[in-house]
Structure 1
Amino acid sequence: MRLYFTFFLFTTTFLFSQSKLKVYSSDNQKPIKGAKVYCNDKLLGHTDENGLLNFTTKCTKVDVEANQFIGDEVVVDKTMEIALDKESSKTRDIEAVTLTNQSDPRALAILDKVFRSFKDNSPNALDSYSYKSYEKMSFDLDQDSINDYSQFIASRKDSLSKLSSRALPTKEKEKKDSIEGEKAMSVFAESKMFLWERATQFLYSKKFGEKINVLDNRISGLQEPIYEMITLRSNRNKVPREVLPENHSLYRYFLTDSITIDGRENYVIRFRQVDYKTPVNRRKYNGYLYIDKATYAIKKIESNSKIKSDGSITSIWIPINNKWFLKSENLKIRMGSSTFSTVAKKNNETTEEKKERLDKVKKFGNYAYMKADYFDFQSPVDLKANQFSGYTMSVKNSDGSLLEDYRTDSLTTREKLTYTKIDSIGKKYKLDQKAKVITGLLRGKIRVGTIDINPLQTKYNRYEGFRLGAGFKLNERFNKYISPDVYLAYGFKDKGFKYGAGVDFRTTLERNSFFRIEYFNDVAASGLFNQNLWNFRMTIMNSGMSIQNDKYYKYEGFRAGYEVDLSNSLTLNVSAKRQKEEAVFDYAYRNRTGSFDNFSSLATIKFSPNSKNIMTPSGKYTFEQNFPEVYLNYEQGFKSLGGELNYSRFDILYTHQFRTILGVTGTRAYGGYFTGDAPVWHQFEMGGLDSSRENSIFSNFNLTTYLGFATMTSGKYFNDKFAGYYFTHRIPWYFKSIGKNTSSFDIVYKGIIGNMKNPEYHQFDYSPLNHLYQEIGLENNNFLSTKFNLGLFYRVGYYNTSKFADNFAIQLKLKVLGF
């Protein structure tokens, strides 16, 4: 019997670790005796005279209630505390006055140390580690209203069954939609709307880098995993937004207490939103931070919405080998509501009838839930090079068959039914195909069945005017290894069609590796910097380079090439092409006009040691672009195989971004070198964006580019050798803008210089740029809380003129394009 009791005690302690909760009054910090703690309406106990209660529970959150206090909830942890607000309106009025609009300087000083110490406290400061995680994400009704919803749906179903056939929709489609809608509502009475589970292994070595293995994964309603969704990240190795210096103006912070957790002293910092000057629903603070006093590491953070019912996010860390690993995360966020009309709308209804109908509308809150547990921590750990082969992230299994081995809590009946019922709905409505449409947008494509549509053929420039076009590519649903594509475009100003066709032949499904052949007949701006292997965001940002440059040329020919990822960080692309080229502006090269035959080869190398990739059926996907990055191109023209041009062209781009206590700094250094015999479009245009200072309201306005100059005349400066730089620094002063956004300022400084060896060879109106061209600017991020950054630029140095309008430019950038 004693052996059985010992075993039972050990088992319950293991399964239900004990938690310690402290409850006190928010106005005077005194402990609250007799506070009741509930888990799903089951009483766990009362607090003692010190406001303390020790308990064990499987609940992730518990409710706390006390006489004359407003009840609240708290996420279960080993050690917790919660401050309750008094019920009296008089107390609330006093608190509204005492809530100052200034942060406690002591709290800000602590947060500054937390931010500066984050890297040292991170697990990546260790030589090696490994651990696993189990994550469960769902979309469902509010847990407290599920029974009410089930009763409402049952009652609604009973009422509809009693309606005469004349009261039902008459049109066949409307009738079908109505029936399907009622079936879906009935399903959600028994199951969640969406459920996703993921088990992951994390490996890290200072020598080999990071490796993330998705051990298993399952998404309700889908037969195939969404790889782009698998890459979603949490607070793991990431500074929480409430701690970031740029967000300090969004909150007010107060150092309120200290608490001992596992023998370690912690500061307790409470915070609230800056526009939260009076308690909403009697909640005084938005959340709190526990900061370890010895290391200034984050022990715990809970961030709540202003309105209690709108949700909360909680993250908890634990120390291992003096570094802090994320132990658990818990999220609940309101995502709108399901609305049902219980009274039919009448024709020509009166204002009173409309008010009565709206008063009887039934609403049920919809929430996104996420629970993540991290476990099996090991450090140091013996890791081998072959464990880091391939891309940063790999998917070992994706059918859910292994999830039971990693679940930290069992599925509820409602969750089990989610897979059964939602999977059947997914097959019926082909949710896999619809999900692919969404993920295609992340790659800049519109997916329609087996076809990916590229809309980037539609654009504007001074030669073609408005160019209307699109590209069409057969994706992996057509064939996993062979992918043909075509594109067609028409320029309304030059009245010309442009077109092309090609096909990719993949050599493996394990990594990015394919051969490509293509035919093309198109036009391009002269002197463009190579954009080979640039990602979608960089390409979009640099698309403005061709808008004002009117020095275009035509080209028609064939290309064959091969691209392969030699490693997660190194990509090689090699190709050869033969094409006919001809200027479409007034130009002669060494007194010769007309077309030129060119045969050339091109080799491109991209080195991105810190970016993170995953292989998907659609190809490689970079889910986290990190710096530095290097792009190197070498093109060689040959007087052979029909070619008549002999030249060599090199160019390089280095880009980096880093953060210091002085702010965020971004740098780009780039350059090019050309030697040999070829027309000017093989040289380098210097990146002018200005529209030749024409008499137009837009002459001082342009869109941002990755390598351009806002004040430089477009298509005016050409060099056969050059070097340029781009420097931006975010001033570490963040201020609150409209709504919940912050604004900041970037100082920008750009420069470029080069020369043309034989400028007389190129007979058209241009100038070599043989002095340093400089431009300074000030960019306002999140301008007026929009998704745009507004930049003001001014030309300085050698090319500065006495006329202000010649030197000044305004530039607009979509914020999502980043640095």
Structure 2
Amino acid sequence: MNKTATGLSVAFALCPFSKGTRVVCYLFFLLFSGFQFALAQTVIIRGKILDARRNKPVEFANVLLTGTTTGTQSDLNGAYAITLDSATVAKGSVTLKASYVGYSPDTRTVAVSSQQKVITLTFRLQPQQTNLSEVTVKGKKDRYRNKDNPAVALIQKVIDHKSRNRRESFSYYQYNKYEKVEFDLSNVSEKFRNRRSLRKFDFVFNYLDTSAVTGKVNLPIYLRESIANVFYSRNPERKREALEAEKSSGIGSYVDNNGIKVYLETLYQDINVYDNNIMLLAQQFMGPTSPLSPQFYKFVIVDTTTIGPTRCVNLGFSPRNPTDLLFQGTMAVALDSSYAIRKVIMGFPRDININFVTDLRIAQEFDQVGNDGLMLTKDELAIEFNLLKRENGMGLFGQRTVSYRNYVLNHPIRPELLAGLSKEGKELNLDRDDTYWTTARHQELTNKEKGIYAMTDSVRKVPLFQKFMNTALFLLEGYKPIGPFEIGPVNTFYSFNPIEGFRARVGGRTTVGFSDRMAFETYGAYGFRDKRFKYFASATFSLTNHNTYTYPIKHIQVSYQNEIKIPGQELQFVQEDNFLLSFKRGPNNRMTYNKVVNLDYLNESKRGLAFNVNLKRIDQAPAGVLRFDQYVADMGDQTVPLAHLTTTEVTLGLRYAPHEQFYQGKNYRVPIVNKYPIFQVRFTAGVKDLLGGQYAFQRLMAYANKRFYLAPIGYTDVTLEGGETFGRVPYPLLTIHRANQTYAYQLESYNMMNFMEFISDHYATAFVDHYFNGFIFNKIPLLKKLKLREVVTFKGLWGGIREQNRPESSNPDQSGLLRFPTDEQGAPLSFALGARPYIEASFGIANIFKILRVDLVKRLSYLDNPNVPKGFGVRFRMKFDF
């Protein structure tokens, strides 16, 4: 396995949740990359396998140490490496044989000695002039066909029998699982190691190593171990992983170490080669045993082999289109009545439309457990990350190794062992001492691996490192720590809008260094045009034994805010006074000054269920050119200005998000998207005369979101939302639909709607976004090399306002209602939806320069409303994604 990658990919691969976290991770990893390395303890033969005619790499070619069972396969760059033990080295010479179907084998003998550490040996295979190209993965001159192809007939047998060969075919199984995830900064150059700025970290010299896989210098930077007992029952189907112990290195409170662990679990998930679709790198790939695989893969019989007493066929497979999200590799299929997979080695094609991954290899072996059947006994996943996908660049190499022991098959399992969360552990027991780990590990750590824990602990104590991380967090995450307090976020210090003009703000909050159970936050702002101060203060009290930011949260929060707000806008992951949101299209001179007293109780559980009770008093006053013009009884269409309106609201909320996981950033808790749905229900009651509340009403809202994976044509995100307001209330208390007048594409807002354009007391909305992941562009020769990806979206809004809430002359009783906003000439700017829905759609091109998405958005209805954007709108969105 080639372990090259660029240093910048360290941050982007591990921390794609926020720009700040990604870059901080990158800088951290680079900080440790500047030193010399320890000498390898073994002799490594490494090199490349090339096509002699085209001088291009031969991927997944076999390299065998003749006379032994030791061998390997070349990776996507044609690179291979074999480690020789001392007994083999003592022979003085070894013979290696390289082979691949469609090529003449090449056998080479090379002298070895204990004085050598790394030997470079390159094979150049000559293509065979045979008819094999007709059915081989490599064949290009002759058309590949499924018909009369014995390889396709064999994979069909595997597909037909896979329900019997899956481990889920057992009535029960249980085993002990040891998992180890390690990341190394790889291919560190001599020039970089000698940088003067890194001299204060000379102590990491003792932890550098030479890779046993590639022979290249690497620096271990992260290690996580876990031990668990796994239990499975087929009827009823239930699987539970009970964690016994967990241990990881980390860099302290600078990043969310638990969030990093969770994200790594999404990158390095359990892989079942029998699954139709395989989740990996937060993407879904069609597996080679899917019933649809013969339509998307090429299959070829490579050779035959023997595993134990069973004769097997090595079946090669690769995508028909190498840019699609499919695998390439070989599997050993048993030539008995089971047609079981005994061994599989697979990875990505070189041209696959995946970012930042230079190489990937999955290696699994299945062995007989007693007389009961086959179970997984070898499970390895290695990924090489590189920002520019450069073969010889500096980067990150991560490897997940899982060991299984103590298999028990088809023996009933006590119900209490299957009860509880699908993956959980007793928190007090997860932190085990060294004695436990020494006996519980399935294999002993190497000296290099043992040193990772000591190295990261030592690094955190270096004053230069602490100063560097604090400065980086201020610049990139937005907060500057000062003792137990931190100032920020920096992106809100300056902003502007037509009402406030230039807006200055400063604020901050306490850290866990102040208290684990209490958190305080505050800010003050001033608008130089409206000459008004705005401010906020909150106190949060954790009702658990961890801090107020750690999931699951259980807290009580009280706050007071005096602020300006765009009616209908509730931004989820950014501040409304974020500097970048200051740039807007169209008029933005209608806002409200809000004074909000808030008391909130939140109770989350690890099962994904959250319960919320909220008491809120809101006082709204018009700002800018917005007016609250109230109709008065017996005055017809005449109105009187209303200075403000006040409501007291009690809200009960219920949210269910099974298997939800997060990365906790400095500003927001960012969910890691998975295949499970999210449901939310919220009921709000306005209580008249309580704390000065002027209106009695009820509001009900329901929300559902789910990602549907549709490999190989991408995935679809669907969001459905509906709500209704009961009672007679003025329009600021109805639903003012989320519009977006910025040039950034917002997922669950209407990007061609104006602020306050549509108001409803009952509504239903649908957001549908389909990401093709390059499925179409991959077929177009001029586009597939750019690795662009297609996105299509649809947004629809249905709704209306009942007669009792319509402030129109047709309403016989308008008294108490507020006139809808108008422009300077008295023409209406806000409307109720009619019989037809509001619709907009867009086509986007994503993955431009690997980070940029550009959408052409078209509004399809209500085109005669004032100030409606004409034609297509261009919107932008930045996102790092694999």
Q: Same fold (TM over 0.5)?
A: yes
Distance in 1 of aligned mates of 2:364 and 2:557: 49
Partner of 1:665: 716
Distance 1:122 1:364, change over 3 A: same
For the Cα contact (< 8 Å) 2:609–2:657, is it kept in 1? yes
Amino acid of the structure 2 residue aligned with 1:257: V
SS, match of residue 688 in structure 1: coil
Distance in 2 of aligned mates of 1:614 and 1:708: 23
How far apart are 1:812 and its partner, in Å?
3.0
Deviation by residue 1:129-156 (Cα, 9 ceiling, x = unmatched): 554433334455879x9xx99xx99xx9
| 1:759 equivalenced with 2:806 (yes/no) | yes
Q: Among residues 336, 346, 361, which one is paired with 1:302 in the alignment?
A: 346
Give TM-score scaled by structure 2 length.
0.63
Distance in 2 of aligned mates of 1:446 and 1:119: 53
How far apart are 1:425 and its partner, in Å?
3.7
Partner of 1:230: 261
For the Cα contact (< 8 Å) 2:842–2:856, is it kept in 1? yes
How far apart are 1:500 and its partner, in Å?
0.4
Amino acid of the structure 2 residue aligned with 1:552: M
Amino acid of the structure 1 residue aligned with 2:761: D
Distance 1:551 1:621, change over 3 A: closer
Amino acid of the structure 2 residue aligned with 1:762: L
CA RMSD of aligned residues (A): 5.9
Q: Among residues 92, 100, 106, which one is paired with 1:69 in the alignment?
A: 106
For the Cα contact (< 8 Å) 2:246–2:431, is it kept in 1? yes
Q: Among residues 314, 321, 329, which one is paired with 2:362 in the alignment?
A: 314
Distance in 2 of aligned mates of 1:543 and 1:295: 59
Q: Among residues 567, 570, 574, which one is paired with 2:609 in the alignment?
A: 570
Deviation by residue 1:194-221 (Cα, 9 ceiling, x = unmatched): 3514113255676777556261203277
How far apart are 1:685 and its partner, in Å?
1.6
Amino acid of the structure 2 residue aligned with 1:704: Y
How far apart are 1:524 and its partner, in Å?
1.7
How far apart are 1:503 and its partner, in Å?
0.9
Distance in 2 of aligned mates of 1:179 and 1:213: 40
For the Cα contact (< 8 Å) 1:773–1:799, is it kept in 2? no
1:527-538 maps to which residues of 2 (within 5 A)?
527-528=568-569
For the Cα contact (< 8 Å) 1:457–1:469, is it kept in 2? yes
Partner of 1:280: none
Partner of 2:450: 416
1:141-290 maps to which residues of 2 (within 5 A)?
180-185=200-205, 188=208, 193-201=220-228, 202=230, 211=241, 213=243, 215-219=245-249, 226-231=257-262, 232-233=264-265, 234-237=268-271, 238-240=278-280, 244-245=285-286, 253=298, 255-257=300-302, 259=304, 261=307, 263=310, 268-271=315-318, 287-289=329-331
| 1:627 equivalenced with 2:627 (yes/no) | no
1:29-108 maps to which residues of 2 (within 5 A)?
34=66, 37=70, 40-42=83-85, 64-65=96-97, 69=106, 87=124, 100=140, 104=144, 106=146
1:798-817 maps to which residues of 2 (within 5 A)?
806=870, 808-815=872-879
Distance 1:663 1:489, change over 3 A: same
Deviation by residue 1:271-295 (Cα, 9 ceiling, x = unmatched): 499789xxxxxxxx97545578968
Which of structures 1 and 2 has the larger relative contact order (alpha carbons within 8 angstroms, sep 6+)?
2
Amino acid of the structure 2 residue aligned with 1:748: F
1:722-741 maps to which residues of 2 (within 5 A)?
722-730=763-771, 733-736=775-778, 737=783, 741=787
How far apart are 1:316 and its partner, in Å?
1.0
| 1:605 equivalenced with 2:654 (yes/no) | yes
Partner of 1:505: 541
Distance 1:90 1:374, change over 3 A: closer
| 1:683 equivalenced with 2:734 (yes/no) | yes
Deviation by residue 1:153-189 (Cα, 9 ceiling, x = unmatched): 9xx9xxxxxxxxxxxx9xxxx8xx6752545446647
How far apart are 1:329 and its partner, in Å?
0.9
Deviation by residue 1:37-85 (Cα, 9 ceiling, x = unmatched): 5863337789xxxxxxxxxxxxxxx99456983779xxxxxxxxxxx99
Amino acid of the structure 1 residue aligned with 2:836: L
1:277-426 maps to which residues of 2 (within 5 A)?
287-289=329-331, 299-303=343-347, 313-316=361-364, 318=366, 327-331=378-382, 333=384, 367-378=397-408, 381-384=413-416, 387-388=419-420, 395=427, 396-398=429-431, 401=434, 402-420=436-454, 422-426=456-460
Partner of 2:14: none
Distance 1:30 1:636, change over 3 A: closer
For the Cα contact (< 8 Å) 2:63–2:98, is it kept in 1? no
For the Cα contact (< 8 Å) 1:526–1:682, is it kept in 2? no
How far apart are 1:318 and its partner, in Å?
3.5
Deviation by residue 1:434-479 (Cα, 9 ceiling, x = unmatched): 889999999x775746446445756676655675546522232221
For the Cα contact (< 8 Å) 1:512–1:565, is it kept in 2? yes
Partner of 1:341: none
Q: Among residues 775, 780, 790, which one is paired with 2:844 in the alignment?
A: 780
For the Cα contact (< 8 Å) 1:519–1:558, is it kept in 2? yes
Distance in 2 of aligned mates of 1:403 and 1:110: 44
How far apart are 1:522 and its partner, in Å?
0.7
Identity of aligned residues (%): 15
Distance in 2 of aligned mates of 1:40 and 1:421: 27
How far apart are 1:747 and its partner, in Å?
5.0
Structure with the higher helix share, 1 or 2: 1
How far apart are 1:505 and its partner, in Å?
0.6
How far apart are 1:743 and its partner, in Å?
1.9
Amino acid of the structure 1 residue aligned with 2:844: N
Distance 1:273 1:623, change over 3 A: same
Distance in 2 of aligned mates of 1:467 and 1:116: 67
Distance in 1 of aligned mates of 2:222 and 2:140: 42
| 1:653 equivalenced with 2:703 (yes/no) | yes
